Amino acid sequence: MKRHYALVGAGIICIAALLAGCSTDGDVTVKNDASTNFTGVLHEDRIEIPAGGQITMNIYIGKSLLFVGPDERDVSLTGSAYTKKPFSTTMNITNGESTSYSITDDCGAMILENGFSSFIDTIKVRNCTDTKFGPTLLAPNETITTRKDFLIRLDEGCWDIAIYYFDSEAHWDTIFNFPSELGEVTLLIWHPDSTYTF
């Protein structure tokens, strides 16, 4: 008879253990060590982190029972800042632990504002030591109208920037020897008659 009670007791314990199946989760902290604000997506949630700031998010992993079940998962982080090129990374989150990721500068930037009365339809850049410009940075059919600006991310170094615009007919202008420094953002209001010193 005692054996019967033991078996029934074991069954009840199994059911109770199932009903109490444990949730597993972990924390992820994303710190923005870049010098400009970061915007991106962490685990399908849109995030914005000011320069020098950080966010911590609790990541749900799943359900486990006794020794069976997931205790880790991968979480994706995508995004960019003015001084951080668009990137995508995956972090492994472990149950009960905190995972950290640091966003750091990997480029400099120029914010080019169109100070002219006509629109810009092409922007090309080249390293100061090169002879040819690369492809346009604008998307097909994209233009920069008057008083609008455009972000140009540039690796550390010296750059020439070619700007193609319409003034009754097609023209182009070149900004020479722009020095790009890691983590620095330069606002430049462009006009074809202006000269620039850096």
Partner 1 sequence: MKKKNAILGVSLLLIICSISTGTAFGQAQENYVVYNLGGGFTQATVVDARRGFLGFNMFCGKMLTDYLCVGISASCDINSYRDIDDNNERMTVIPLLARLRLYYTTGELLQMYATVGAGVYNAVPHVNIHPIGDIWNSTIQPGGSIGFGVEYWFLLTMGVGLEFEYHMFPTEEDSMFSYFAARLNYTFIRF
| H or E, element range at 176 | strand 169-180
Distances (CA, A) of 101 to 30, 55, 90: 5, 10, 10
> Binder to partner 1 among 61, 107, 125, 163 (CB under 8 A)?
61
Q: How far is the CB of 71 from partner 1 (least distance, A)?
A: 9
Q: Return the number of the residue (11 or 52) whose C-beta is nearest partner 1.
A: 11
14 binds partner 1 (CB under 8 A): yes
Q: How far is the CB of 24 from partner 1 (least distance, A)?
A: 9
27 binds partner 1 (CB under 8 A): no
Q: Report the b/e string of 44-80 with b at 16+ CB within 10 A.
A: eeebebebeeebeeebebeeeeeeeeeeebebebebb
65 binds partner 1 (CB under 8 A): yes
Interacting residues with partner 1 (CB under 8 A): 3-4, 7-8, 11, 14-15, 18-19, 21, 44, 60-65, 67-70, 73
